């Protein structure tokens, strides 16, 4: 299933994408797409619904973040060896963990707001994992059973805030609009191999990132297992798993986003995002 949320910011409603690309309302069955909805029992109930009988929603409707009421937004840094190299950093021996503020979450096609005093605004296409049930001390072999699905994430970053203002990355990762997720949450049963998904990102029509999850240092199942050794994971939590090479920081010379730039990014089977950079008012 391709689950989504649509409507004005803060008033999103639950929906599902049918086989013809139509958005259908799920309001009759669930109040939102969130941690509660993502239990195995609820997902099985939704899979039994005759989607063709559901009301069709206007195709021009705004798409919100594909998961609502997110408790934790966890990210893995330097998880592609070639991206670590372009960043001038060593490949970590264990996953490099940081968080994005949940207030950074935005819709897949919402504007990216360049923060005040920002001069190194960057992009990162990433595969995001959405947790489906409470996870604690899970083995890597069993970790996939705790994943509800996957979505596209743009891990928008401000490199000055991230790398030049102390040792903590979070300042450059958690600004408002720095976490577009969606357009859909694709349930685990529709993703045959999360270790082999092509991914790409363009800025103003030029391709900068063209990678595949098969070059990850730490694979999705390992990441879920690893994180569960240090914190419990709850349904609806998001884990963004790192980016392939081609970010602005890695260009020669470095290239950063500015107001008016347009970003398009996507992952095989998980849909496409389109964003415009705007100046903070």
> What is the pLDDT of the chain when averaged over all its residues?
96
The secondary structure element, H or E, covering residue 102 is none
Mean pLDDT of 4-8: 98
Q: What is the pTM of this model?
A: 0.96
Per residue in 210-224, pLDDT (tens digit) is: 999 999 999 999 999
**Residue 74 φ then ψ, to 5°:** -105, 145
Number of H helices, E strands in the chain: 4, 19
Q: Is 210 exposed, middle or buried (0-12, 13-18, 19+ CB in 10 A)?
A: middle
**In what side-by-side order are the strands of the sheet with 73-77?**
56-57, 23-25, 13-17, 2-6, 185-187, 147-154, 125-131, 238-240, 73-77, 96-99
Per residue in 56-84, pLDDT (tens digit) is: 999 999 999 999 999 999 999 989 987 77
Per residue in 169-190, pLDDT (tens digit) is: 899 999 999 999 999 999 999 9
Per residue in 31-60, pLDDT (tens digit) is: 999 999 999 999 999 999 999 999 999 999
Q: Indicate the fold that domain 65-279 takes in CATH.
A: Fumarylacetoacetate hydrolase; domain 2 (3.90.850)
Per residue in 103-145, pLDDT (tens digit) is: 999 999 999 999 999 999 999 999 999 999 999 999 999 999 9
**Residue 57 φ then ψ, to 5°:** -100, 145
Q: What is the pLDDT of residue 90?
A: 81
Q: What is the pLDDT of residue 120?
A: 98
Cα dihedral value 238, 244, 247, 249, nearest 10: 100
The span from the CA of 25 to the CA of 55, in Å, is 6
Question: Worst-scoring range by mean pLDDT, 87-101, 169-183, 186-200, 254-268?
Answer: 87-101
- Whether the pLDDT of residue 14 is over 80: the answer is yes
Q: What is the pLDDT of residue 86?
A: 78
Q: What is the pLDDT of residue 152?
A: 98
pLDDT band at 92 (very low <50, low <70, confident <90, very high): confident
The span from the CA of 194 to the CA of 182, in Å, is 16
- Whether the pLDDT of residue 262 is over 80: the answer is yes
The residue among 30, 236, 241 whose CA lies nearest residue 134 is 236
Q: What is the pLDDT of residue 51?
A: 96
- Whether the pLDDT of residue 250 is over 90: the answer is yes
Report the SS3 class of residue 207. Answer: strand
Q: What is the pLDDT of residue 81?
A: 83
- Whether the pLDDT of residue 87 is over 80: the answer is no
Separation of first and last alpha carbons in the chain:
38
- Whether the pLDDT of residue 89 is over 80: the answer is no
Q: What is the largest CA-CA distance in the chain?
A: 54
Q: How much of the chain, in percent, has pLDDT values that exceed 90?
A: 93
Q: Is 275 exposed, middle or buried (0-12, 13-18, 19+ CB in 10 A)?
A: buried
């Amino acid at each position: 299933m391709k689950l989504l949320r649509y409507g004005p910011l803060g008033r999103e409603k639950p929906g599902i994408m049918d086989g013809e690309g139509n958005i259908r309302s799920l309001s009759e069955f669930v109040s939102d797409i969130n941690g509660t909805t993502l239990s195995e029992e609820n997902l099985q109930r939704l899979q039994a619904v005759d989607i063709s009988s559901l009301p069709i929603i206007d195709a021009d409707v705004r798409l919100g973040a594909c998961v609502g009421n997110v408790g934790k937004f966890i990210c893995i840094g330097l998880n592609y060896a070639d991206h670590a190299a372009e960043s001038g950093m060593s490949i970590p021996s264990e996953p490099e963990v940081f968080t994005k503020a949940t207030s950074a979450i935005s819709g897949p096609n919402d504007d990216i707001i360049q923060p005040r005093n920002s001069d190194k605004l960057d992009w990162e296409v990433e595969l995001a994992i959405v947790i489906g049930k409470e996870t604690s001390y899970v083995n890597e072999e069993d970790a996939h059973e705790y994943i509800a699905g996957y979505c596209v994430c743009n891990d928008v970053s401000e490199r000055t805030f991230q790398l030049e203002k102390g040792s903590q990355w979070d300042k450059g990762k958690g600004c408002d609009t720095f976490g577009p997720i969606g357009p859909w949450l694709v349930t685990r049963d529709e993703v045959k191999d999360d270790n082999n998904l092509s991914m790409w990102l363009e800025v103003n029509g030029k391709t900068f990132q063209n990678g595949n999850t098969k070059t990850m240092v730490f694979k999705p199942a390992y990441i879920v297992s690893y994180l569960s050794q240090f914190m419990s994971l709850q349904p609806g939590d998001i884990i963004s798993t790192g980016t392939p090479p081609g970010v602005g920081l890695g260009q020669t010379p470095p290239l950063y986003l500015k107001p008016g730039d347009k970003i398009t990014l996507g992952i095989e089977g998980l849909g496409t995002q389109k964003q415009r950079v705007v100046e903070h008012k």
